[in-house]
A and B are shown apart, each in its own frame.
Chain A
Amino acid sequence: MSTADSVPRIRWTRRELLWLGVLSIMAVFQLWRGAWIDGGIFVALLAVLVADTLSGGRIALVRRPVMLRRTTIVMSAAVVAALLIVAPRHGIVVMVTMVMVGVAVAILAWPATPDRDRRPDRAYARSSTLFSLVGALFCLWEAFAYILSNTLPGFDDAFPTISVLLDPVVGDTAGRTFFVIVWVVAGLALIRVRGVRGSQ
């Protein structure tokens, strides 16, 4: 068998290239604004995903897909939510909690999952195009707000970013409680979509 035969042939789909583009833009933007940790997170993510694609999807985080009961996940999410609400913001407890959440969701979401098409292909295409356009518009609007507020003298507070608008909300206990619940429920919804293969 020749070397060429043993090396898996890598095909980059348009969808994968678009995702790499989005993640690259996120990484560059975070590094440009001086958020080194945030930028580093996206660079590390890009590196892992590119390595996985180049290996033909052979990278495995765990030997076998993790099977968790839905009740276990919901109870874990409740503990996470409680810690994020009670522990001091930007503190070590919250940091450790978030790292553990990141590891857990990566393990749950990494394994391949079967496709469950329920709609016509064109309906998926329209939906992904429309929601992607709305998402891109939102990101562009925020990027312009950030750039304008940081470049126009005397207009520091005139073009608020989402971070500027939400920071006081998350800083308040009631606001943080609401924000944490929304964030955790969104995460559960995303994992429900693909990650959980529990018995209940």
Chain B
Amino acid sequence: MTAIVNVEAYWFTVVGYWVIIAIAVMVEFVARRRPEFIAPLFDMLDHVMHTRMARIGLIAAWWWFGWHFFVGPTL
């Protein structure tokens, strides 16, 4: 019984990630069709990264993601 619940919880969690990714893709899709209403992702990043805090924060987040998987004990 626990094994079945575990499998269901596993796929529920995985599907949750995909749903969130799908929402991001949909937002970007709408943004590219109507960029004057919603700025596309990289246009928005270009604007936001004007401040040093955002610029360094975003690039540090990207760098840490690589560090986490290549260098650190991931799990």
B73: which A residues are within 8 A, CB to CB? Answer: 90
Contact A23 B57 (CB under 8 A): yes
Q: B58 → chain A, closest Cβ, in Å?
A: 6
Contact A16 B53 (CB under 8 A): yes
Contact A123 B74 (CB under 8 A): no
A101: which B residues are within 8 A, CB to CB? Answer: 63, 66
Q: A78 contacts the other chain (Cβ, under 8 Å)?
A: no
B56: which A residues are within 8 A, CB to CB? Answer: 45, 48-49, 106, 109-110
Q: A141 contacts the other chain (Cβ, under 8 Å)?
A: yes
Contact B53 A53 (CB under 8 A): yes
User: Complex formed: what's the CA distance from A138 to B61 in Å?
Assistant: 14
Contact A127 B62 (CB under 8 A): no
Q: B44 → chain A, closest Cβ, in Å?
A: 4
Q: A7 contacts the other chain (Cβ, under 8 Å)?
A: no
Q: A22 contacts the other chain (Cβ, under 8 Å)?
A: yes
Contact A190 B62 (CB under 8 A): yes
Contact A90 B71 (CB under 8 A): yes
Contact B46 A134 (CB under 8 A): no
Interface range for B: 35 or more
Cross-chain contact of A49 among B48, B53, B75 (Cβ < 8 A): B53
Which B residues, 1 to 27, have Cβ-Cβ distances below 8 Å to chain A?
2, 5-6, 9-10, 13-14, 16-17, 20-21, 23-24, 27
Cross-chain contact of A126 among B38, B46, B51 (Cβ < 8 A): B38
B5: which A residues are within 8 A, CB to CB? Answer: 155, 158
Binding site for B on A (CB under 8 A): 13, 15-16, 19-20, 22-23, 26, 35, 37-38, 41-42, 45, 48-49, 52-53, 57, 84, 89-90, 94-95, 98, 101-102, 105-106, 109-110, 112-120, 123-124, 126-128, 130-131, 134, 137-138, 141-142, 145, 154-155, 157-160, 162-167, 170, 179, 183, 186-187, 189-191, 193-195
Contacts A35-B72, A98-B67, A194-B46 given; 4 further ones with Cβ under 8 A? A101-B66, A124-B43, A126-B38, A193-B46
